[in-house]
Structure 1
Amino acid sequence: MNRVRVLLLNAALGPLDYRVPDGMQVEPGSIVMAPLGPRKMPGVVWEPDSFPVEEIDPKKLRPLLELRDVPPLRAPLRRLIEWTAAYYFASPASVLRMVLSSGAAFADNRPISEYRLNGSVPDRMTPQREQALEKLIGVQGTISELANKAGVSIAVIRGLEKLGVFDREDVSPFAITANPSPDFDTVDLSVDQKNVSKILIDAVRAAQFKPFLLDGVTGSGKTEVYFEAVAEALRQDKQVLVLLPEIALTEPFLDRFHARFGAEPLAWHSGMKQSERKKNWRALADGNAKVIVGARSALFLPYANLGLIIVDEAHETSFKQEDGVRYHARDVAIMRGLHEKIPVILASATPAIESQHQVEQGNYQLLELPARFGGATMPDIEALDLTEDVPPRGSWLAPTLVNALEENLERGEQSLLFLNRRGFAPLTLCRTCGHRIDCPNCTAWMVEHRLTRRLACHHCGHVMPIPEKCPECGDEDSLVACGPGVERICDEVRMLFPQARTAIVTSDTIWSPQKAADFVHQMEAGAIDIVVGTQLVTKGYHFPNLTLVGVVDADIGLEGGDLRAAERSFQQIAQVAGRAGRAEKPGRVYVQTRMPNAPVIQALIKNDREGFYAAEIEARRQALAPPFARWAAIIVSSEDNKEAMETARLIGQTAPKVDGFSVFGPAPAPLAMLRGRHRHRLLVHALRSVDLQQIMREWLEQLEWPRAVRVGVDIDPYSFV
């Protein structure tokens, strides 16, 4: 009898043993359907020695039900799943779920039915039907996707479909892929670019694990350099994965890729339709798709023949997953490269301190591009002291910056104002009683969004109309918006320069790759004079006519007790400054601050990146902070605050006494309530010589807490709220 171990997509159970029925041929990595009670559960056959399970009488083993007709998960991916689960304190099934997230492994090969409005209107209308007809104009998708897009139930969409409101189209489950050509176009590279690209090409040919830190100033042509490595991988008939930090960057990147290779790569991100995800999953699992561009989840896809991984803007904190399996895509990319035995390129103009430390340790090879491409020069950066260069009352832009905007408009050049704060104002309060409008589910202020006439919580998504009177004292016309968001700055720009064509660029306005592409095309066509945006505009964009950047509030990122506050602020401002003067025209950058002598601001205006990083690294070394030691966060949450607090105390009181291992807390989290759950945090500090995960696993596994309490572990945390 053939006995196999199967890792099921059930995080609560773990792997189980099954019997292989006669005539079924399985191997480690085979994707199967297995019985679990009365249900049929998907899973993957695993090596029996990878996960210990309780021995069961062979006669009691239930037979597997079905072997799916898809390529087995390869051994390097299985090893990555094991490593990710062990390192990030997650169940292997939770990691496996990311690999099989599209459902393509369990779908049959029948066409996928998608629907689109045909202009018909039913005789009887309801508010839900009106909402669906309004929101689904120009949208095509499956029944469930349309329901989700319209914000109505599936029953509403099915009812409209029966009334003939939709036309149906049967879409093939297989992606039609055009193979990129490595020699479709050539680019004239500088001497520095040629030298760096040769090293990367040689690494692709060697087909061995080799991590590179591609450190180039903004506008130095890092993309063109790693495109040469992509071209070599294509010549070797290998697959390439390019990770981007934001899906909004995907469409502009696809355009650049198409111009170089004559065809678009496949995309992978949360904004895709389920049918697209299924098709792309099959195409890369079969090896038909050669290049995949995606968000962090693309790391866990089952590539048939992966030959190169590129992490663009590798310093970006959005590569850290903050819920579910709390992994960092930059670090997992390195581990996937190790298991696949292939090179990994981390590209950045402002590398993370952790990456620079790996270079110092000799683990990564540093490749530098110190100058901008084509003779373009780095912009001049000037700090505007808001205590001296004071904006007029009720305004947020200093006179010097306003004058610079006016000059830029007269020259017909484009400007960018950066403020990392969405909406119109971060706080609404009553001028009569002082009441602040808070989110009912979170310890957070409701942010006013004047464009949509709503107050919104940026943590849980709760929205509500702007009240006409104070909810506390009942006074009418007493609510006032406090502080600026990008919408408020844009209003100020429109009052100052009514003739200027403006655009707001945030995740509220650029929510899809197509929206990003529309914005890029408008900028390139000169249809926008002044952009007001958040961190979404700090990376990846190249606008030759953009010559002025104004940072509205450089001090925001320095507030609070975040370990990486100074590093993040430096990276963000340096990145947004790098949008200016990327072609023949020189650029200027003005940084508004009330702390012009802060080390971050001084390093920026003196262009002293090396000095800033050296000071930051030494400060962390003295404090035994990462990367010189390790941290882990324990987050305890419950709808019952007493239960959460008692569980957090239990965890703190039972902390192991081990040299080089310390536990701080518990304490209420800075965001003490999130999505209706009370939250408490503990912080674990461990020296590099200590086995952090093993100690924590032995510690927490022996404890019990109420079922309603959730205890999450965040290894190498980036968020401290």
Structure 2
Amino acid sequence: MNKQPLRCRVQVVLPIEKPYDYLLPYGTDGAQIALEPGQVVMVPVGRRVLPGVVWDGDADENVPLKKLKEIVSVSEVPPLREELRKFVEWVANYTLSPQGSVLKMALSVPQALEDQVGQKLYRLSGDALSKEGEREKTRLTSARQKVIDVVTNSGGWTSADLAREAGVSSSVVKGLEKLGMIESYFEAPDFFFPAPVSDAVGPELSPDQKAAADDLVSRVQGRSFSTVVLDGVTGSGKTEVYFEAIEAALREGRQALVLLPEIALSSQWLDRFKQRFGVAPAEWHSDLTPALRRKTWRAVASGKAPVVVGARSALMLPYSDLGLIIVDEEHEGSFKQEDGVYYHARDMAVVRAKGCGCPIVLASATPALETMVNVQSGRYERLILPGRHGGAGMPDVELIDLRFDKPERLQSGPGWLSQALRGAIRQTLEAGEQAMLFLNRRGYAPLTLCRTCGHRLQCPHCTAWLVEHRRFRRLQCHHCGFSAALPETCPSCGAEDSLVPCGPGVERIVEEAKLLFPEANVALMASDTMTSPAATKEMVDRIQNREVNLLVGTQVVAKGYHFPYLTLVGVVDADLGLFGGDLRAAERTFQLLHQVAGRAGRAEHKGRVLLQTSDPKHPVMQTLKEGDRDKFLEIEAETRARGNLPPFGRLAAVIVSGPDESELDNFCAGLARSIPQFDGAQILGPAPAPLALLRGKFRRRFLIMSKKTIAPQGIARNWLSQLKAPSRIKVVVDVDPYSFL
């Protein structure tokens, strides 16, 4: 009697809910190859061959064999651990996303799944590591030094990949080989990152830092799950504290992951890591070259990337043995992903740490309200760093009431800096110190209108005004990326020279600063100008070297930078972002301004912060002035609790979009008619989204509001299954929404 061919379940990286059944592949001996859950395979799906993972559970033996296809090949990469497979299932269930879409985030580099063949590879030579080699390195050209830097930080490069990663020609690689600084060897690539020094001596810690560090180290050594909030004022040395925990993880032979809100902007953090551990960590973010992305993924999976620092997507990598997770600046909104799979990396990191059986540290000077409520309920523990490192004091915060100290008009147009702020800048510059002006608005002006007919220049694809970027003589939409030249005449009435900018952006503040302080070295730091890690590092170096003494910036300047001579921070419009109906508007404004204020006076020079506001009695302004963060959180918690809003209630947004407004509204009307009645929950809507047109798609929103004890996922799943959306209409569920655009 012939045996039935063996079959297994494979989760494919497609937006599908559950695994498909496949036949196990056959070996050269004609027998089927046994596969274990977690192994990465290539499988046929229609006319394509796609990656997938052998999934847990038994295949359906009732499916006819003729309907099953055979697995094409098995990848040599390490199998995905059970911990990661369960994490994928949990994230999919929580976010109401297809399981295959979540798995795709873990298998995000298809090229890394391909089998590696023997190749000629390069590494740092023994001669380069000698004293003579060290002296020789000081005489290298900049191009050759770039190659040396790459092979010093990681090994296992082909000539083409090494040249591409260093940004040089292949002749530079050959020249270094002739010089004896790098050497070649022939084998299958085994990419790795040099192990950080696990017994490096860090800076001397204060008693508070030492106590917090010892606590974290004991948790890492205990190899068990716990969530710890590292709550320290700006400049308290939180990074050095969790560096001790990273060192402990390395001594345990386990990997460590550090999530940063914007890794591409964190050159200072990377420099501090190198100084502390002797080598660079593995980085994971969107600016990596394809070659380094492929190599890093394999190094992480094989355990040859001891420390990974990355953006939120680094959470989904297939770590071989994760022993510690750090979420730095845990309050940051950029940890929330709002396309594809909607998830918050901070919250999902807690779930992953639990699955890995390791501690997770949430570090911030302004923890999210949700985080602090978890501390109060006992779910999270808290370690406090109450003072700045080295004895530096917190800056004095003053409010400038714009109703009375109105900025004077300039010859070129309106002014935006009050007399008090102008005077403080002048005093700071005369003292040989640095000042910073903060405005969280890119470009030159947020709105351009015609003074003849009143026409406003709007994006043709979004419900948003076009922002003028005077440096490029362009108008740009910051939501979809649409860009157009600044027109010479009004598109509506044809009037010439009638288009005028309204309101300030940072470029306009730079213009005013140069006019008022012609002797100052003014620089702009915004996401438009900090387009790469290299550009960011260059700017940071200029500020640290005091080549810049008046910095103008957006929120990128609030990302934990340490500038010892920066003693004055002026916030041009402290009220910006405070209003608009967003439930987190006050919290976000407080966090951002508190972080910006924390850039001032971080060394021996006393800091000063001036906030320009038209509403000085607002609780955010008053608590910032008093330096009383806990009082703000108490006020915010009372406000949220009264409205049964997170973290005291649950929310899920349902965003429905499509290219035809009439078809969209008809579908939404059907959804509204099918809204079920729930005890302890309600569904509001439909209503036009604040951005009712985005990237050419019309948008409507529903909002599910429920008690904290009722999960909105079940409500959304049951309700939305009653009505099938037409092919041109997309329905997205955002559980625990962070943004309400």
The one-character-per-residue Cα deviations of 1:479-517 (angstroms, maximum 9, x if unpaired) are 000000000000000001112111111110112111111
Moved more, 514-523 or 298-307: 514-523
Aligned residue in 2 for 1:357: 373
Give SS of 1:310's match.
strand
Aligned residue in 2 for 1:378: 394
The one-character-per-residue Cα deviations of 1:186-229 (angstroms, maximum 9, x if unpaired) are 21000000111111000000000100011000000000000000
Q: Which residue, out of 516, 523, 542, partners 1:522?
A: 542
Q: Is the 8 A contact 2:17 2:99 kept in 1?
A: no
Task: Write out aligned runs for 1:76-475 (5 A).
Answer: 76-109=83-116, 174-393=190-409, 394-475=414-495
> How far off is 1:365 after superposition?
0.4
Q: Structure 2 counterpart of 1:240, which letter?
A: A
Aligned residue in 2 for 1:146: none
> How far off is 1:112 after superposition?
10
Give SS of 2:215's match.
helix
Query: TM-score, with normalisation over the residues of structure 1?
Result: 0.91
Q: Aligned partners of 1:104 and 1:181: how far apart in 2?
A: 31
Q: Structure 2 counterpart of 1:360, which letter?
A: Q
The one-character-per-residue Cα deviations of 1:516-536 (angstroms, maximum 9, x if unpaired) are 111111111111111111111
Q: Is the 8 A contact 2:438 2:570 kept in 1?
A: yes
Structure 1 residues 84 and 53, CA, compared in 2 at 3 Å: closer, same or farther?
farther
Aligned residue in 2 for 1:498: 518
The one-character-per-residue Cα deviations of 1:33-76 (angstroms, maximum 9, x if unpaired) are 11223321210000126xx9794124542221100000000011
Q: Aligned partners of 2:479 and 2:317: how far apart in 1?
A: 29
**Which aligned segments of 4 or more residues in structure 1 are displaced greater than 4 angstroms?**
52-55, 110-114, 165-174
Moved more, 9-18 or 524-533: 9-18
Give SS of 1:298's match.
helix
Task: Write out aligned runs for 1:655-694 (5 A).
Answer: 655-694=675-714
Q: Aligned partners of 2:477 and 2:117: how far apart in 1?
A: 42
Moved more, 90-99 or 244-253: 244-253
Moved more, 10-19 or 403-412: 10-19
1:24 aligns with 2:62: no
Q: Aligned partners of 1:259 and 1:651: how far apart in 2?
A: 57
> How far off is 1:106 after superposition?
2.4
Q: Is the 8 A contact 1:427 1:482 kept in 2?
A: yes
Q: Which residue, out of 696, 699, 710, partners 2:716?
A: 696
Q: Is the 8 A contact 1:396 1:484 kept in 2?
A: yes
Query: TM-score, with normalisation over the residues of structure 2?
Result: 0.88
Q: Is the 8 A contact 2:641 2:648 kept in 1?
A: yes
Give SS of 1:83's match.
helix
Aligned residue in 2 for 1:73: 80
Q: Structure 1 counterpart of 2:115, which letter?
A: D
1:35 aligns with 2:55: no
Give SS of 1:556's match.
coil
Structure 1 residues 111 and 544, CA, compared in 2 at 3 Å: closer, same or farther?
farther
Give SS of 2:193's match.
coil
Give SS of 2:577's match.
helix
Q: Is the 8 A contact 2:17 2:98 kept in 1?
A: no
Q: Structure 2 counterpart of 1:483, which letter?
A: G
Q: Is the 8 A contact 1:408 1:548 kept in 2?
A: yes
Q: Is the 8 A contact 1:33 1:40 kept in 2?
A: yes
Q: Structure 2 counterpart of 1:46, which letter?
A: W
Q: Structure 1 counterpart of 2:728, which letter?
A: A
Q: Structure 2 counterpart of 1:211, which letter?
A: T
1:607 aligns with 2:627: yes
Q: Is the 8 A contact 1:182 1:232 kept in 2?
A: yes
Task: Write out aligned runs for 1:560-639 (5 A).
Answer: 560-639=580-659
Aligned residue in 2 for 1:8: 12
> How far off is 1:578 after superposition?
0.2
Q: Aligned partners of 2:571 and 2:61: how far apart in 1?
A: 60
Where structure 2 has 5 or more consecutive residues not aligned to the other structure, the ranges are 26-30, 122-142, 148-167, 175-183
Q: Is the 8 A contact 1:185 1:259 kept in 2?
A: no
Q: Is the 8 A contact 2:209 2:241 kept in 1?
A: yes
The one-character-per-residue Cα deviations of 1:587-607 (angstroms, maximum 9, x if unpaired) are 000000000010100000011
Aligned-residue Cα RMSD (Å) equals: 2.2
Q: Structure 1 counterpart of 2:98, which letter?
A: S
Moved more, 37-46 or 351-360: 37-46
Q: Aligned partners of 2:639 and 2:47: how far apart in 1?
A: 58
Q: Aligned partners of 1:113 and 1:431: how far apart in 2?
A: 66
Q: Aligned partners of 2:88 and 2:17: how far apart in 1?
A: 16
The one-character-per-residue Cα deviations of 1:252-288 (angstroms, maximum 9, x if unpaired) are 2111000001111000001111111101001111101
Alignment: residue pair count? 674
> How far off is 1:656 after superposition?
1.6
Structure 1 residues 229 and 715, CA, compared in 2 at 3 Å: closer, same or farther?
same
Q: Is the 8 A contact 1:104 1:282 kept in 2?
A: no
Q: Structure 1 counterpart of 2:114, which letter?
A: A
Q: Is the 8 A contact 2:575 2:614 kept in 1?
A: yes
Moved more, 180-189 or 385-394: 180-189
> How far off is 1:176 after superposition?
4.2
Q: Structure 2 counterpart of 1:18, which letter?
A: Y
Q: Structure 2 counterpart of 1:339, which letter?
A: G
Structure 1 residues 344 and 166, CA, compared in 2 at 3 Å: closer, same or farther?
closer
Q: Structure 1 counterpart of 2:380, which letter?
A: Y
The one-character-per-residue Cα deviations of 1:618-637 (angstroms, maximum 9, x if unpaired) are 11112111011100001010
Q: Aligned partners of 1:442 and 1:54: how far apart in 2?
A: 51
Q: Aligned partners of 1:53 and 1:421: how far apart in 2?
A: 56
Q: Aligned partners of 1:455 and 1:60: how far apart in 2?
A: 55
Aligned residue in 2 for 1:489: 509
Q: Aligned partners of 2:41 and 2:704: how far apart in 1?
A: 39
Give SS of 1:7's match.
strand
Q: Is the 8 A contact 2:112 2:295 kept in 1?
A: no
Q: Is the 8 A contact 1:204 1:233 kept in 2?
A: yes
> How far off is 1:543 after superposition?
0.6
1:714 aligns with 2:738: no
Q: Aligned partners of 2:555 and 2:72: how far apart in 1?
A: 49
Q: Aligned partners of 1:592 and 1:110: how far apart in 2?
A: 62
Q: Structure 2 counterpart of 1:42, which letter?
A: P
Q: Aligned partners of 1:251 and 1:54: how far apart in 2?
A: 55
> How far off is 1:412 after superposition?
1.1
> How far off is 1:174 after superposition?
4.8
1:553 aligns with 2:573: yes
Q: Is the 8 A contact 1:245 1:316 kept in 2?
A: yes
> How far off is 1:251 after superposition?
2.4
Q: Structure 2 counterpart of 1:317, which letter?
A: G
> How far off is 1:451 after superposition?
1.0
Q: Structure 2 counterpart of 1:64, which letter?
A: I
Moved more, 181-190 or 427-436: 181-190
Q: Aligned partners of 2:309 and 2:471: how far apart in 1?
A: 32
> How far off is 1:689 after superposition?
2.0
> How far off is 1:435 after superposition?
0.3
